Each structure stands twice: as C-alpha cells, then as structure tokens.
Chains A and B, each alone.
Chain A
Amino acid sequence: MSPTATDTPGAASAPAVPATMREALNRALDEALAEDPATLVFGEDVGRLGGVFRVTEGLQRRHGEHRVFDTPLAEAAIAGMSVGLAMNGWRPVPELQFDGFAYPAMDQIVNQIARMNYRSRGAAPMPVTVRIPSFGGIQAPEHHGESLEAVFAHVPGLKVAAPSDAPDAYRLLLQSVRCDDPVVFLEPKARYWDRSPSPAGAGPVEDAAVGTSRVVRPGRHATLVAWGAMVHRCLQAAEAAAEDGVELEVVDLRWLKPIDAAGLAESVGRTRRAVVVHEAPLTAGLGGEVSALITEGAFSRLAAPVQRVAGFDVVYPAGPLEPQYLPTVDRILFAVQRTFE
C-alpha cells in the first residue's frame, strides 16, 4: 500500500460523510473530479448556480470551468455529447435536471449511450453516469416527480442505482462514476435535505459495489424491499410494526440493475414474507421484477405471495394529491398483514 493510501477518497480515514444527501453527493462529485482528471460534470445550471438542488455547488470554483460547466437547455444534446466525450477519453457525469425531462434525452440514453460499447464491440466504452434528480414527494410541478427506474432497468447496457440516504448516496455515486459501464443514477429529491441519521451508517465505498443490496434494518417476520425515498417510508412502517411486536426487515435494493437476487432470496428465505414498495405506478413497475426474483429464489420458503405496494396506475398527481398517491405507512402495513392471512 502506498504511503498516501490513507488520503485516498473513500478510505477509512476520509472525513465523515455529510449529514444530508445533497452534501454527500456533492462530496462524491468533488472526489470523483479530484481522483480522475478525465471526469467532467455538466448539465443545465450545474456550473455557476451549483444546480437547482445545489448538488454541484462549489464544484466549478474548485475544479474549473472546463471540468464543471453549464450547457444549453437541451437534454438530448447533454446525453448525446456524453457519447462523444466518452469516445474521446473523458468520463462524463451529466445531470438531467428532472426525471420527466429525461424523456427528451431517451433516444440518446437508450439508443446511443447504452449501446455504444456493444455496437463497437468494446472499442468505445461509455463510462457515463447520468444523474437525474428523481421521484416525488416535494409538491413539484408536473414532470418533476416521476419514477423512471423500470424504464431504464429494461434497457440492455444500462446499470441503474438509486440511493436512499446520505452515506450510501456518497458510496453509490463514487461506484457509479468509477464504473466503466453507463449508470443511470436516480437521486430521491425528497431526501436531499433530510438530516435523520442513516440506520446503516457509514462504511467504505467498496460496500456499495454494483449489484449489491443492503439490509438497513434487520427483522425476522417479513421483508420490506424498497429504494430511494421509499426506504425511509419502509423504516417508518417497520418502526410502527415494532410497537406491535412485528419485526420487519428493510432491504434497500439501491442497485436496480443489476438487482441483488441472491440478497433478496437470503432475506426472504429467513423472513418467509416479502412486500415490495415503490413510488412508480404498479403495472409493469420494477416491483413485478423484484417479486418474480423473490419467487424464483425463495419459493419454497415463501409463506405467502409477494405483495406490492406502489403508486397507482395514474398520472403522477399535483401536490395536494401526492400523499394520496405515494405509498403510505398504512398501505405498507396492510400489505404486511396480507402476508399473514
């Protein structure tokens, strides 16, 4: 080990991860820019302003206008330029400002970024991390509260991550940027500013390796599986259930592609009951995939059909209706109850 190893980002002596996800993501980007001079951060308003959620705050000042820069308001161009930058040796970390505005970039993400390594038979890898502030819960305007994980997870060539708390957001983003495959990184904007301590705590970046999940609360009666902001909702449900003596395990899936099928089977193999929770509409949502993986991997241990608690199959609603749409603690507990019937 080199004498400077203890200064390596992510090593044991690294400063404590900030309390909020916004700050943790900022730290991860700062370190990614510092550790690899090929890393570039760009997108709408990420430069001088520091991003509409301030995730890129201070990065342009610290790393220069050539490494952290504003682009025109053009999502297809932002994603498309990433392809050419990657082909020229750069490691792009573009931001698409909101989930609903990833759709204008979809051709470049799906037809180009996801396929260029394949199309070129490995000659033109795409180490691109597309950051997208995602999911709902902040009473935002239309197209600012969408959950696109199933759309991206369906695309061969992409990997998909969604952090649930600050320490893991830091680890997952560094893992994503260092990954030589394209990663779509979905940040739960409802959790950007939350200061509640992470139940799983800090840990080395290596703990968040591609395709791993983590148990954020152990339990023995049923497993709740979630990602993004719904992990917190599941923890609330587990807290409530504990008052009745029901011990719910909460699994933070965090890598939505590839999914940790073995980890799911291990947890549900112990608890024998599973509830998948996500914000996206139910039909053809990722909950169906998770449910199938649990069934395939732990069928003989299952005491009840896997339950899904999801958004309804409706357009993501305006602010006052958000609490009606998003999975609630009660809905999660009803689903748990159904696994005991």
Chain B
Amino acid sequence: MLTREEAPRLDGDPALPAESARRLYRTMLTARLLDTEAVALQRQGVFPAYVSLRGQEAAQVGSAAAMDARRDFAFPTYREMAVALALGVDMAGYMASHRALWHGGLYDPMAARFAPVNAVVGGPVPHAVGWALGEKLAGRSGCAVSYFGDGASSEGDVHEAMNLAGVMGAPVVFVCQNNQWALSVPNERQIAGGSVAARAAGYGMPGVAVDGDDVAAVYTAVREALERARSGDGPSLVEALTYRAAPHSTSDDTSRYRDPDEERAWAERDPLPRARAALEAAGHADAAFFEQAEAECRAEAERIRDTVSAAPEPPGSDLFAHVYREPTEELARQRRVWQEEVA
C-alpha cells in the first residue's frame, strides 16, 4: 500500500484558476452539507438507509470537474453523490435512490450523462468500457469515466473490464476511490501488492495514484487521463487515495473493526479544510467568500433535502411500468391481478 507521502505527485503546478478553484470548493461544500443532511434524514426515518461519502469529496468533485459534461459519461456505483452534484444531476432525483423511491434514482441518466445508481460495486465497470467502445466505433469524442472503490477492485468484472479496455483501446478513465475500507475490510486484506494503480501496467495502460483528498491533484490527474483517452491513446487508471470518514452505511458500526484514533487522525486530511486552506493560501478567496459560500451551499443542500423529502412515493402501477419496453400479455395479466386484489 502506497502511503499518501509515497504516492506519486503530478509534475507541475496543481493550482487551478481562481474561479475554478472556488467552484470546486463550493461543490465540495454542498456535497458535505447535503451528506450531513442525508444522514440526518436517515436518523429521522425519511431515508431507510444512507451511504455517506464524507471524506471523498475531493476525489469525486475533482474527477467529475475534469469531465466534459456535454460529451463524456459517468458510470457510478452508489457512493458517488458528489460526482452527480458536480455533473449537474437533478439532486433530488439522485437522492430519491436513498429515500428508496426508485432503485436507480429518479433523474434522467441519459440526459444527465450519469448512469443510474448501481448497487453492484464492480458491475458498472464493463458498462463504462462498452459505452466508451461505442463512442470510438461511432467516431465520436466522448470518454467514459468509471467509478469504483478499493473493494470493487477485487471483483472479477473490474479485471475483465480493464483488460477489455486495454485490448480495445477504449476511451475510458477508471477512477478508483481507494477509501481504505471495503465495509469492514482494510486495504491490506483487499489489495494484494498494495496498489490498485500498479495493476494498470498489466492491462497496458498508465496507472497513477494521487492524493485523493487534494481536489486539484485529482482534477489534474483525471484531466490528463481524459485528454489521453480523447486523443485516441486509450484507457487510464487513476487511484485516488482517500478515506471513508463515515461508516460504510448508516447500518454500519465502525467501532467493531477500526480504531477511533484512525478516524480522529483523518480530520487533519479532511479535504474541505484543505481546499479552503489552499484557496486562502493562493489568495483566491477571502472570509466574505467563505461566509457567502457556506450560506448558499447550505441553502442548496436544504432545498435538495426538502425536495426529496416531499417527493411523492411512486404509484403501485410503477411495479409493472418499466420491466419491458414491449410489455408481455402475462405481465399485463399480473397487473390486472394487482389492480383487482392489491391496489
């Protein structure tokens, strides 16, 4: 396992233009506040469960900000809320997945260029490769970005997908958010050899590990990988070394498997204060900016919270509505049974 200090840093100045840096900070802050609201909603019984991304804001916002939202396409699993936010996904529709209104969320994944929420951690990775290959076959210039974690890096589908991407030269960027914990299992019991990024070499693609809590570093690495894919040089793997500051889900209990000291130590690496300090050090933002950002981002998080909380539950007929494009007589018959005996 590469430590944060050993992880290769990108050459050159990772500093972003002032306006971009401020925008990324605001997105990270909104994600943090919305995440906090979501945990509260679970406590209040509005969400049956929630999976927090606390600690991964820089990895998610930095990577998503590198995408071209008009032509690229993101393939998430279920902890990519800040990616959705950065890509402009309808967030009440996104959070509807956590309110259990609809498995995949209630946003339009094709319009948002952000695939439906997927609970199979390795499952969407070959989807991203297929989408990217489709883009190449069509002679278009979009790239796919595949999100997965250190746990999913053990899944066979991820290896098959990476090899396929390497063989086919698919324009896809694999973004592994290594948050150190696959539910209760730490990296050393998950990743033989210690590095997901190192595996890229075996699939004929560049792999780089970056400080996943440094939003500029993540942005720069993913942007480079996207440029490479877009210019026809094939796939890349970016491993963003970060930390899952919260439990795996609201049903999880970290005290059973990890040292509270580790969680306390994380506070020093928290990507939000780091981004704030970087903005201040670069002279990109002053106290008034942070005050305004806090107020506006909180208002946005609360608006999303209130919208998803008030969203109507789906009608029972939605059980049947999307199973097929071309409905079958048998399912129509079962719908009549539901209508007569359940509805």
Q: Are B102 and A84 in contact (CB under 8 A)?
A: no
- B residues in contact with A79, CB < 8 Å: 126
Contact B130 A72 (CB under 8 A): no
How many Å lie between the Cα of A111 and that of B131 in the bound state?
A: 18
In the complex, chain A residues whose CB is within 8 Å of the CB of B123 = 80, 107-108, 111-112
- Bound-state CA distance A90–B156 (Å) is 25
B169 interface contact, C-beta 8 A: no
Interchain CB contact under 8 A, A119 and B324? no
A241 to B328, CA, bound (A): 36
Contact of A81 among B73, B108, B115, B129 (CB under 8 A): B129
> Does A107 lie within 8 Å of B126, measured CB to CB?
no
Q: Which residue of B lies closest to A118 (CB)?
A: B322
Within 8 A of B (CB), among A81-140: 81-90, 92, 104, 107-108, 111-112, 116-125, 127
Contact B120 A117 (CB under 8 A): no
Bound CA span A77–B124, Å: 10
Kindly state whether residue B329 has any CB partner on chain A within 8 Å. Answer: yes
- The reply to whether B157 and A80 form a contact with Cβ atoms under 8 Å apart is yes
Query: Are A81 and B130 CB-contacts (below 8 A) given A72-B164, A76-B156, A117-B324?
Result: yes
Q: Tell me which of B103, B134, B164, B328 has the highest count of chain A C-beta atoms within 10 A of its own C-beta.
A: B134
Complex contacts, A258 vs chain B, CB 8 Å = 328-331
B161 contacts across to A, CB distance below 8 A: 77, 80-81
B71 to chain A, nearest CB (A): 11
Query: A157 to B323, Cβ gap below 8 A?
Result: yes
- The answer on a CB contact under 8 Å between A89 and B144 is no
A103 to nearest B CB, angstroms? Answer: 12
The total of chain A residues at the interface (CB under 8 A) is 49
CB distance from A59 to the nearest CB of B (A): 16
Complex: chain B residue closest to A80, CB-CB: B126
Is B156 a contact partner of A112 (Cβ separation < 8 A)? no
Contact check, A117 vs B325: say whether CB atoms are below 8 A apart.
yes
Cross-chain contact A83 with B126 (CB below 8 angstroms): yes
| Residue in chain A with minimal CB distance to B170 | A81
Residue of A nearest to B75 (CB): A84
* CB pair B130 A85 closer than 8 Å: yes
Chain A hits for B73, CB < 8 A: 87-88
Interface positions, chain B 127-182, Cβ under 8 Å from A, are 127-135, 137-138, 144, 156-157, 160-161, 163-164, 167
Query: Is A74 at the interface (CB under 8 A from chain B)?
Result: yes
Please classify the interface of chain B as helix (H, G, I), strand (E, B), loop, or mixed, using the class held by over half of its residues. helix
- With both beta carbons as reference points, the residue of chain A lying nearest to B132 in the complex is identified as A84
| Contact indicator B163/A72 (Cβ below 8 Å) | yes
Kindly list chain B residues whose C-beta atoms are within 8 Å of the C-beta of A71. Answer: 164, 167
In the complex, chain B residues whose CB is within 8 Å of the CB of A121 = 102, 104, 106, 321-322
Contact (Cβ within 8 A) A122 B322:
yes
Q: Is A310 positioned at the interface, with any CB of B under 8 Å from its CB?
A: no
B110 within 8 A of A: yes
**Residues of B close to A179: CB separation below 8 A:** 326
Determine if B130 and A84 form an interchain contact, defined as CB atoms under 8 angstroms apart: yes
Given A84-B144, A112-B123, A258-B329, is A120 in contact with B104 using a C-beta cutoff of 8 Å? Answer: yes
Could you tell me if A87 and B127 are in contact, using CB atoms closer than 8 angstroms?
yes
B130 near A80: Cβ-Cβ < 8 Å: yes
B125 at the interface (CB under 8 A from A): yes
Interchain CB contact under 8 A, B164 and A81: yes
Q: Which A178-210 residues sit within 8 Å CB-CB of chain B? A: 179-181, 210
Complex CA distance for A287 and B127, rounded to whole angstroms: 35
Given A85-B133, A88-B134, A107-B120, verify A77-B108 contact (CB < 8 Å): no
Residue of B nearest to A75 (CB): B160
Flag whether A259 is at the interface (Cβ < 8 A): yes
- Chain A residue at minimum C-beta to C-beta distance from B103: A119
Evaluate contact between A76 and B160: CB separation under 8 angstroms.
Answer: yes
B206: interface (CB < 8 Å): no
A40 within 8 A of B: yes
Given the contacts A72-B167, A120-B116, A84 and B126 also touching, CB distance less than 8 Å: yes
Within 8 Å of chain B (Cβ to Cβ): is A261?
yes
Q: How far is the CB of B123 from chain A (nearest CB, A)?
A: 5
Partner of B131, one of A76, A87, A104: A87
The verdict on B109 contacting chain A, using a C-beta distance below 8 Å, is: yes
**Residues of the B chain whose Cβ atoms lie less than 8 Å from the Cβ of A85:** 130-131, 133-134
A-B contact pairs, 28 of them (CB 8 A): A72-B163, A77-B161, A77-B164, A80-B130, A84-B128, A84-B132, A85-B131, A85-B134, A88-B134, A90-B134, A107-B157, A112-B120, A112-B123, A112-B127, A117-B322, A118-B104, A119-B103, A119-B116, A121-B322, A122-B321, A122-B322, A122-B325, A123-B109, A125-B325, A159-B324, A180-B326, A257-B328, A258-B331
Top 7 A-B pairs, shortest CB-CB distance: A84-B130, A80-B126, A81-B130, A88-B134, A84-B131, A119-B104, A77-B160
What is B's interface to A at a CB cutoff of 8 Å?
73, 75, 102-104, 106, 108-111, 115-116, 118, 120, 123-135, 137-138, 144, 156-157, 160-161, 163-164, 167, 321-326, 328-331
Known: A83-B127, A118-B322. 5 other contacts (CB 8 A): A76-B126, A80-B161, A84-B75, A85-B130, A87-B115
